[in-house]
Structure 1
Amino acid sequence: MYYFIINPRSRSGYGAVIWDKIQHELESRGIPYEAYFTLYKKHAARLAHELEDRHHTCTIVVVGGDGTVNEVLNGLTHPARITLGYIPTGSGNDFARGMGIPFDPAEALSLILSSHAVAEMDIGTLKTRYHTRCFGVSAGIGFDAAICHEALASPIKDTLNHLGLGKLTYVGIALRQLFLFKPCQARICLDKKQTLHFPRLYFAAAMNQKYEGGGFQFAPGAKSDDGKLHICVVGNLSKPKILLMLPTAFWGKHIHLKGIHMFSCRQIDIHTDRPLPVHSDGESCGYADSISLSTASEQISVITPG
């Protein structure tokens, strides 16, 4: 039995269109399934929790974007009991990109129904004074989170999604935020051992996957099953240099540039001299001047090409 959690509003309604095709395929092949539709923010978390509580072990298939996957992860109490399938319908799809899952919904469904291959994936944990959130792709503080915050409320995003140009939303917002954002002083502690000081921090991204932000390869060396977070810290750079740096991140070449710092650890604590935007898998977690990021004790099994 497959349990589908569907976000029909992902990519401005694209999720509902894709689900109609998936449902037709499931019924034509006589595949047993149950479908649950998200009706409000964080509903996917509640649905995932109820399925886990009811069935103990089961296969949950997410039809949505990275934010829907994030909600499902946050709804699970014992993720090691769950097998996760994913059919991407979002505009960024960094989770699918990082796990090697096909972007084409028909191919992703075929993989789920035919594959016996699973990959164990770490789950990251973000803690602030007010929130504790899990993440599958990345979490961070600063400039990249500011882009996420604005994109979630952008009236232009729906229009560009309908045109298949959703990524342009992030490009435009990134340019605007780069002009507005003021770097701050930060203290970063790795595994409670090494403390680093940054007089001009733009952002710090804790990566569980290689990609975030719709294909930026901020952590080209990241492995989602090694029990570590791969940290990309951007500081002590001028804004023109950051503008030049961003395109190189699509190929992971930014790591060779001065002002880009890469680390690998199990826990990172970040303290800034003023509250900055915080995100978890692109979802807003408000503002904070102190966050802690680590890997959870349990992994989750994800259906992959093998």
Structure 2
Amino acid sequence: MIAPALTPALCLLNPHAANGRCAALAEPLREALPQVPLVLPENVAAARQRLLALPEGSRVIVAGGDGTVHQLLPALVARKLQLAILPGGTGNDLARALGLARMGWREALAHAQSAPASAMDLGEITAPECGTQLFMSSLTAGFDAAIAIRAQAAPNWLRGQPRYLWATLNEIGRLRVYPLRVEADGQLLHDGPLLFASSLNTPSYGSGMPAAPGARIDDGELQLLRVGAFGRLGALAMMPLLLTGLHLRHSNIHLSAFKTLRLTSPQPVPLAVDGEPLPSATDISVRVRPQALHVVR
């Protein structure tokens, strides 16, 4: 039986997603959704204001990628809105976790109007340098954050995983390790050099790298990926393992679940949430926010 169509309260399209390629969906969406307001906001503040003005619990279609959804999280959570995604970004790791990444926009749109919404967890980071931020896919801390930051400067013709590979190869030339004290759920896990210590809610990050293959977005936990100190050649050798999900066989790589996490370092550590850069920080707290967002899978 086909579920009855729902009428979304709003369709919000980020014309800058995927280096501007998402803007091509504007006219087709206007034709496909004649009764639904289509908004191409001028900036993040304008997008959030439109969402905050909606009735609580409304369904919203968002055309964009991980960075687009990340910027909207405060408003989506505050109004308890139902999020339906039309994947249109560079990374699309949230769309992968929701089973939507391989859908064309027409199929995803039909699904967005008929499928039920269910709750997923979010992560929350707090640091003096950046305040408190929500994330739905990943918080990267260290080398992989530096890669995410560098990926923003990649050539426009590079999309998806090749964009992150380009950034990785460029970042390995200035490879650094970070002295990190890692405490999860009140237990000391590590005190010493690490290449990175990142928190994942989705199984993949960096445009599909299966970094935490057992992660679930609704289990009330986040996954901590700790990668020890590698040199340049070791980091290069690790990349194929990470790309194929075989990295957890390496004795210098560890994955563990947590609800609360604290990272401290005597020197600033690069940070990025959902691929978006944050100021580097020395004292970072992370926690899971169970069932904080309703999404269409």
**TM-score with structure 1 setting the length:** 0.88
Q: Is residue 289 from structure 1 mapped to residue 296 from structure 2 by the alignment? A: no
**Any residues of structure 2 matched to 1:220-235 within 5 Å, and which?**
220-235=213-228
Which residue of the partner structure matches residue 47 of structure 1?
47
Choose which of 22, 34, 41 in structure 2 pairs with 1:38. 41
Contact 1:157 1:166 in 2 (8 A): no
Which region of structure 1 is more displaced relative to structure 2, 51-60 or 260-269?
A: 51-60
Q: Describe the SS at the equivalent of 1:147.
A: helix
Preserved CA contact (<8 Å) 1:8 1:37? yes
Distance 2:290 2:200 in 1: 17
1:127 corresponds in structure 2 to 126
Structure 1 residues 35-57: Cα deviation after superposition (integer angstroms, max 9, x where no partner): 221223x33xx534543344122
1:146-295 matched pairs, under 5 angstroms: 146-152=146-152, 154=153, 156-160=154-158, 165-191=159-185, 193-295=186-288
Q: 2:68 — aligned with what?
A: 68
Correspondence 1:12 to 2:19: yes
Deviations 1:1-24 (A, max 9, x none): 421111011112211102322222
How far has the Cα of 1:299 moved from its partner? 2.0
Taking the aligned partners of 1:93 and 1:297, their CA distance within structure 2 comes to 21
Q: Secondary structure at the match of 1:57?
A: coil
Rounded Cα–Cα distance in structure 1 between residues aligned with 2:172 and 2:42: 34
Q: Distance in 2 between matches of 1:119 and 1:246?
A: 34
CA distance 1:244–1:122, change in 2 (3 Å): same
| Shift, 1:122, TM fit | 0.4
Instruction: After superposition, give the CA deviation of every residue in 1:168-214 in whole Å (9 maximum; x if it has no partner).
Output: 222121012122021021100001x2112342211111000001001
Q: Is the 8 A contact 1:271 1:291 kept in 2?
A: yes
After superposition, the Cα gap between the structure-2 partners of 1:233 and 1:242, relative to the gap in structure 1 and judged at 3 Å, is: same
> Structure 1: where are the runs of 5+ without partners?
none
Give % identity.
28
Q: For the Cα contact (< 8 Å) 1:210–1:217, is it kept in 2?
A: yes
Q: Secondary structure at the match of 2:197?
A: strand
TM score, norm. by length of structure 2: 0.91
CA RMSD of aligned residues (A): 1.8
**Structure richer in helix, relative to its length:** 1
Amino acid at match of 1:184: Y
Structure 1 range deviating more: 95-104 or 136-145: 95-104
- CA offsets, 1:72-111, max 9 Å, x none? 11333536x2111000111211111111114321221121
Count, aligned residues: 288
> How big is the shift at 1:124?
0.8
1:123-158: CA deviation from partner (whole Å, max 9, x where unpaired): 110111132111110112101111111222x1x432
Cα distance in structure 1, aligned partners of 2:149 and 2:94: 19
Contact 1:255-1:261 within 8 A present in 2 as well: yes
Question: Is residue 137–residue 274 contact of structure 2 (8 Å, CA) maintained in 1?
Answer: yes
The offset of 1:217, in angstroms, is 0.8
Is residue 139–residue 278 contact of structure 1 (8 Å, CA) maintained in 2? Answer: yes
SS at 1:39's partner residue? coil
Aligned residue runs from structure 1 range 101-112, under 5 A:
101-103=100-102, 104-112=104-112
**What is the DSSP-based 3-state SS (H/G/I as helix, E as strand, rest coil) of the residue aligned with 1:123?**
strand
1:56 maps to amino acid: E
The corresponding residue for 2:90 is 91
Q: Residue 33 of structure 2 aligns with which residue?
A: 26
For 2:22 and 2:92, the matched residues in 1 are separated by 13
Maintained 8 Å contact 2:11/2:36:
yes
Cα 1:129/1:261, change in 2 over 3 Å: same
